[in-house]
Amino acid sequence: MTKKILAAFMAATICFAPVVAHAQGATKPKITTAMTFAKAGEAWSGIVADRKLLGETIKSGKLSEAHEIAFSIRDAAVTLPYKSGALSPAKKTALEKQVAAVAIIAENIDKYGDAGNAVKTKAEYAKLVKALAAIALLYPANALPASGEKPMSAADKALFLTPGGMYTKADIAANGNASAYRKYAGVVPNHEAKVNTGDAVCPISETKPNPKLIWVVGGKTYTFCCPPCIAEFVQKAKSDPATIQPPEKYVKQ
């Protein structure tokens, strides 16, 4: 009797296991680089905005206001090591070193700004820009929101500004003759995985799309969760257009 029960149990397990695995796989969103570093990306977005504001403040001669912005950058930067667990140990060490440098620079901007020393305040700001650039280089490509200051790379031009497959010249013009990274520089991905059945999803990650992140492909407008997903979708549209469905097909099943 016991053997019969055990055999029945094993048969039921074999029968149902593939169904359960399939159901789990169908609901699991794709993990992108931007999603892996989402918390760091959120902090970095504020740092980029404050860095720009600090530069404008110093340039306008409002040196007494510089220290508050510099300290805001410092306070955001100090959280990066705790939000960047996916970095290698060596890069984490390098990140901590640069974060410490940012803290010292912020103190100097406070000191020289309050003293009205424009020359030294500007010199410290230049050091800050260099330190922040060094921090950005420690992360994988497209992990952090772009600053919008770098020129478009050759790879981005080839991807976004060159037609192919179902990605046309008209699409490129409709998208502003820009890369998704520059067009949506500073946008912080949310990557909300909780999506109701029937709701729209990002065509790549299958998470909740951001209504601000749209891209025209094949004359149709699609909505995404982050710029890296736009890039991957454009690549698919160019290299494997048969896999691309109309926008209304990308919904939670």
Residues 6+ apart with CB under 8 A from 124: 105, 108, 109, 112
Write down the residue that tokens 């981005």 correspond to: 156
Q: Rounded CA gap, 12 and 245, in Å? A: 37
Query: Domains in the chain, please, with CATH?
Result: 33-136 (1.20.120.290), 154-249 (no CATH)
- Are the C-beta atoms of 229 and 202 separated by less than 8 Å? yes
Question: Using one digit for the tens of pLDDT, what is the confidence trace for 58-84?
Answer: 999 999 999 999 999 999 999 999 999
Question: Using one digit for the tens of pLDDT, what is the confidence trace for 7-31?
Answer: 443 444 333 333 333 333 445 667 7
Write down the residue that tokens 């998470």 correspond to: 207
Give which of 187, 98, 193, 192 is closest to 139, Cα–Cα: 98
Mean pLDDT of the chain: 86
Q: Which residue has the higher pLDDT, 185 or 109?
A: 109
Structure tokens at 37: 């570093």
Q: Rounded CA gap, 120 and 146, in Å? A: 28
Proportion of the chain above pLDDT 70, given as a percent: 86
Q: Which residues pair with 215 in a beta bridge?
A: 222
Residues 6+ apart with CB under 8 A from 194: 208
Quick one: pLDDT band at residue 151, thresholds 50, 70, 90? Answer: low
What per-residue confidence (pLDDT) applies to 181?
86
Angle at 176 between CA 228 and CA 164, to 5 degrees: 65
Whether 193 has a pLDDT exceeding 60, the answer reads yes
Proportion of the chain above pLDDT 90, given as a percent: 67
Quick one: pLDDT band at residue 41, thresholds 50, 70, 90? Answer: confident
Give which of 135, 142, 164 is closest to 225, Cα–Cα: 142
Q: Rounded CA gap, 112 and 119, in Å? A: 9
What per-residue confidence (pLDDT) applies to 34?
75
pTM value is: 0.62
- What's the average model confidence in pLDDT over 166-181? 95
Hey, which bits of the chain come out as E strands? 214-217, 220-223
Whether 4 has a pLDDT exceeding 70, the answer reads no
